[in-house]
Chain A
Amino acid sequence: MVKISHSTKTGSHHWLMQRISAIALIPLILWLVLSLVQIAQDPQSYLPVFFAYPLNAVMGILLIIASMYHGSLGMRVIIEDYISNKTKMHFYIMLVHFISITTAVAGVVAIIRLHLIG
């Protein structure tokens, strides 16, 4: 019988979440590219009020959360593949989580502020 360790369980969960966040990112990236095309035409007038529109604020927040989640899962896999020292490996994974979560939360707060003052 195959002994299932803890890491095997979380590994398959991460694998699935990596795919789910990837699918979520498809429309969000399309929105980002289309938004940038629109902003590019007149940055001075579009940029300051960009997040004043509810759709842009919501999509922006979702994009930050989904990309930071997807990114930290991806970085985790790379760290696990290339860093063999277990202590260092866990340190870097924690560091990536810390940076990702802090960036995401601060980014969401900033977009809410831009939404309210825009």
Chain B
Amino acid sequence: MTDEKHKSTKKTIGSPTSPHLQIYKWNISSLTSIAHRFTGVVLYFSIIFIVWYIIYYAYQINPAESAETCDCPLKKIFDSLFSLAAIGVTFSLYYHFANGIRHLFWDIGKGFDVKTARKTGYLTLFIALLLTIITFAIVIYLKLW
């Protein structure tokens, strides 16, 4: 009886998808794991955008003189959106870089115990935040914004 019930639910559920983000209790391990994926997707689309910008730049008649001088309001909105996106992309890059190295250590069997994994999890988040702050401190210092 229970076996039949189990079978029928299995049929209706269909092929499973994972990981089920909604039903887990959050902790540092799951947070760093999903953040790795999320920042990876952010970086994938950012790189595509940046590469196509380089392509656009390369095929201007004279790239050296292509400094955009338009002073229209729409450009200002775009520029401020751009700055916000730049912070997100910068954080994503540092985070994915640091956590990627953490993953590579796991792959050679190092730092796998729960205590160390939790510590390095907080460490990657801290490093990524610190590097992001340093980067934008330099950007503001050089008056690039």
Interface residues of A (CB under 8 A from B): 19, 22-23, 25-26, 29, 37, 40-41, 43-44, 48, 64, 67-68, 71-72, 74-75, 78, 81-85, 99-100, 103-104, 106-107, 109-111, 113-114, 117
Residues of B within 8 A of A29 (CB): 93, 97
Residues of B within 8 A of A83 (CB): 17
Minimum-distance CB pairs A-B, first 8: A110-B58, A84-B15, A48-B64, A107-B51, A71-B44, A110-B55, A113-B58, A74-B40
Residues of B within 8 A of A26 (CB): 97, 101
Contact B54 A81 (CB under 8 A): no
Tell me the total A-B contact number using a CB cutoff of 8 A.
82
Interface residues on B, range: 20 to 34
User: A101 CA to B88 CA in the complex, in Å?
Assistant: 25
Q: Which of A19, A68, A84 is the one whose CB lies under 8 Å from B107?
A: A19
User: A44 CA to B54 CA in the complex, in Å?
Assistant: 15
Contact A103 B51 (CB under 8 A): yes
Closest residue of chain A to B101 (Cβ to Cβ) is A26
User: A67 CA to B93 CA in the complex, in Å?
Assistant: 12
User: A83 CA to B44 CA in the complex, in Å?
Assistant: 18
User: A44 CA to B144 CA in the complex, in Å?
Assistant: 11
Take A22-B104, A78-B37, A81-B19 as given contacts and tell me if A68 and B58 are in contact as well, using a CB distance cutoff of 8 Å: no
Contact B44 A75 (CB under 8 A): yes
Question: Does more than half of chain A's interface fall in helix, strand or loop, or is it mixed?
Answer: helix
Closest residue of chain A to B142 (Cβ to Cβ) is A40
User: A84 CA to B54 CA in the complex, in Å?
Assistant: 36
User: A19 CA to B104 CA in the complex, in Å?
Assistant: 7
Residues of A within 8 A of B142 (CB): 40-41
Residues of A within 8 A of B47 (CB): 64, 67-68, 71, 103
Contact B51 A64 (CB under 8 A): yes
Q: Mind listing 14 A-B residue pairs with CB under 8 Å?
A: A22-B100, A22-B103, A26-B101, A41-B142, A48-B64, A71-B44, A75-B44, A81-B17, A100-B48, A103-B52, A106-B55, A107-B55, A111-B58, A114-B58
Residues of B within 8 A of A43 (CB): 144
A79 to chain B, nearest CB (A): 10
| Residue of B19, B43, B64, B93 with highest tally of chain A CB at under 10 A | B64
